Structure 1
């Protein structure tokens, strides 16, 4: 289970504390077991600094604390603090990556359930979509119309292979299978089955998707439909 350590510091030497953190990152390269670190400063008290460090487990956190580099930097950190830092050890009970939830819902509702109207609830009003297969960017209404045309003509079923979240961005790697049952990009239905892979990046804002960038193997799909160059 994921383990999180919260370190509370009181210091007037925030720049020095930041330098020590940079030194620790460099010194423990290839050795540390910490996977994520966030440092924040209290808006109400500029001397109150909190670091949140994430580990795969408590056991991995113990390994990290036993590194000589970790001990050295900690001793230097104590020296720049106004008082001894305090530690809170947390076993993570829930880890909700909220931007992933809205992206997963987009694939499930719009792509697989053909609930095209759901896109208006999942995306912001000023949503912008960029695609390697489209010369111009699309707004929300244009994207909804394009999705309706594509999914009606090709009936794809999408499988999410992986989702990775960083900040307000979510990267999705996916595969899809379908059948050409309607007119698509001027090509009459062939009844042929097709499959392919794709990748998309979503920028989220306020719990909704504000922007997306899509890359799909359109040429490979058209070849399978007998509509592209061989």
Structure 2
């Protein structure tokens, strides 16, 4: 099964600004329609650790993820996101082994 997932763990005291930034970026990418982009993303808050958040971003392949990362607008988004974080984020790069949709 092809696929690649990046998990971004971060802390922020400005979650509403992070949400607005992510929505703005998604809207621009959809309007642009150019180049590879994520298949889906899930943004989560930790119920047991206030201020801790995790973004799970899925791509069709590692190559598409790297092409997406190389885009100037993605770099600008990542820099703006890090400005809203309370310290450095942790990134986990994962090859997708299995995905199951229980809907």
TM-score (norm 2): 0.90
> Which structure shows the higher strand fraction?
1
Deviation at 1:35, TM superposition (A): 0.8
**Number of residue pairs matched?**
99
Find the aligned partners of 1:57 and 1:33 in 2 and give their Cα distance.
10
| 1:4 has 2:5 as partner | yes
1:39 partner SS = strand
Deviation at 1:46, TM superposition (A): 2.4
Q: How does 1:56-71 map to 2 (within 5 A)?
A: 56-71=60-75
Q: Which of 73, 77, 82 is matched with 1:73 structurally?
A: 77
Larger of the two Rg values belongs to structure: 1
Q: How does 1:1-230 map to 2 (within 5 A)?
A: 1-29=2-30, 30-31=33-34, 32-99=36-103
Deviation at 1:74, TM superposition (A): 0.7
RMSD between aligned alpha carbons? 1.1
TM-score (norm 1): 0.42
Checking the alignment, whether the CA contact within 8 Å between 1:27 and 1:69 is kept in structure 2 is no
Find the aligned partners of 1:56 and 1:44 in 2 and give their Cα distance.
31
Find the aligned partners of 1:47 and 1:28 in 2 and give their Cα distance.
27
Question: Where does the alignment leave 5 or more consecutive residues of structure 1 unmatched?
Answer: 100-230
Question: Where does the alignment leave 5 or more consecutive residues of structure 2 unmatched?
Answer: none
Find the aligned partners of 1:33 and 1:73 in 2 and give their Cα distance.
13
